[in-house]
Amino acid sequence: MSKIRSALVVSPLAPAFAAALAVAAAFAPLPVQAQAPEPIIIGSSIPLTGTVASFGQHSRWGAELAIAEANEKGGVLGRKIEIEFQDNRCNPAEAVKSVTQMISAKKYVAIHDGLCSSVALAIMPLVERAGIPFVVANASATSIAEKSGVGGNKWTFKVNPTDASLLKALVDWLEKEGKAGNIAFLGEDTDFGRAGASGLAEALKQRNLKLASVDFYQKGMADFTSVFTKIKSQKPGMLALYAIDADFQNAMRQWYGLGGGVPLTGRVLVDQVPKEIMESGFLDGTTSVQPYDPSVDTPGNKAFVETFKKRNNVAPILVSFESYETIKILIEAIQRAGSTEPAAVRDALAATRFQSLLGSTIEFDANNLAHNNAIILTITGGKVVVRGMSKT
């Protein structure tokens, strides 16, 4: 029986063939790596400098927290979310200039906030012509809602309550307390202040009552002595105050220096009262209406306050809360729209049903106005107390 041997035969061409393969491999195209999808970008016009820059900072913090939370969950439509801020200095002309530039860039899914009422009103025609959603987080002028939705501008959505709806809730409360019959008004001579005066006058008119007096001051006014003295001489039962930021701080200190003597009401920024004045008990008897207070006792708000404090080393205020929920509402609308196409996002916003941290369900009415709870606050024993909530 013969033996069969196997042998490895090496061709003399093998080394050359191997070298050719090596050269081909060196020049072969590399595998294409998947690129991350482009982020979804929101544009924001807020005052980052100027007299209300502190409010602008809180608006920024609230928006950034909402975006950070969404991105931690993977973003929306498989894309990360970013927000780019432009400083409007609470000045309509500055806002028009910057928002015009933002719109021309054609990269923003929506424009956020405005913050100041005069600014929001100036932005509205721009977004209407461009066909891009504008979500108003903090500007409170009633005219914003009157001009939105069926009012003509279908691209503007107002998340925070109007002054008119807040003041109706306030007057309801004051009437039950027997304090609605003799109210004087002092406010800044802006859309914010004038909306406060007209809203309060209308709420009182529905009860056959009227304001005892109405006075306005120019923003940045240094001396309130004459107007405070005039108001005190009329002996009103309460003074409704519409002032913000540096003007509010200045007014509070001068009111304190003059001895007060008249309980305050209106949109009193109780979280902005100088600490020494608050703790003195000087403002006891004050009754304010606001869309938010950090002490609201709901699970959602408690979690928000805790997270906000850890992130920014300060407690949230009304402005930070409103921006936070407004961005949440916008993100949720983009998700439901399944698209960043402006008209699709606008239609999704109109169909919003969003669970607020305050416990109510936020929906937009025919004027693209949301109706969240109003918070009734009083100052008692040098401390702010939440007395109740009322749907606006």
pLDDT digits (tens, 9 = 90+) for 78-87: 999 999 999 9
The rounded distance, in Å, linking the Cα atoms of 46 and 322 is 13
First to last CA, the chain: 106
Beta bridge partners of 214: 185
Band of pLDDT at residue 14, cut at 50, 70 and 90: very low
The rounded distance, in Å, linking the Cα atoms of 355 and 121 is 27
**Strands 287-290 and 264-266, sheet pairing:** unpaired
Let me know: does 170 contact 287? Beta carbons within 8 Å: yes
pLDDT tens digits along 271-307: 889 999 999 999 999 999 999 999 898 999 999 999 9
Domains with residue ranges and CATH for the chain: 40-161+296-372 (3.40.50.2300), 164-290 (3.40.50.2300)
User: What type of residue sits at position 49?
Assistant: T
pLDDT tens digits along 64-77: 999 999 999 999 99
The rounded distance, in Å, linking the Cα atoms of 94 and 363 is 31
Let me know: does 324 contact 65? Beta carbons within 8 Å: yes
* pLDDT surpassing 50 at residue 269: yes
The rounded distance, in Å, linking the Cα atoms of 191 and 140 is 9
Sheet holding 373-380, edge to edge: 287-290, 373-380, 383-391
Beta bridge partners of 264: 239
* pLDDT surpassing 50 at residue 21: no
The rounded distance, in Å, linking the Cα atoms of 117 and 316 is 21
Q: How many CB atoms lie within 10 A of CB 48?
A: 17
* pLDDT surpassing 80 at residue 34: no
SS3 378: strand
> 203-240 burial string, b = 16+ CB within 10 Å, else e?
bbeeeebebbebbbbebeeeebeebbeebbeeebbbbb
Phi, psi of 166 (to 5 degrees): -65, -45
Q: What average pLDDT does this structure show over 154-161?
A: 96
Sorted by sequence, the CB contacts under 8 Å of residue 44 that are 6+ apart come out as: 59, 60, 63, 83, 84, 85, 86, 111, 112, 113
The rounded distance, in Å, linking the Cα atoms of 362 and 355 is 6
* pLDDT surpassing 60 at residue 2: no
Q: What is the rounded average pLDDT for all residues in the chain?
A: 90
User: DSSP label at 218?
Assistant: -
* pLDDT surpassing 50 at residue 17: no
pLDDT tens digits along 338-372: 999 999 999 999 999 999 999 899 999 999 999 99
Q: How many CB atoms lie within 10 A of CB 291?
A: 24
Band of pLDDT at residue 322, cut at 50, 70 and 90: very high
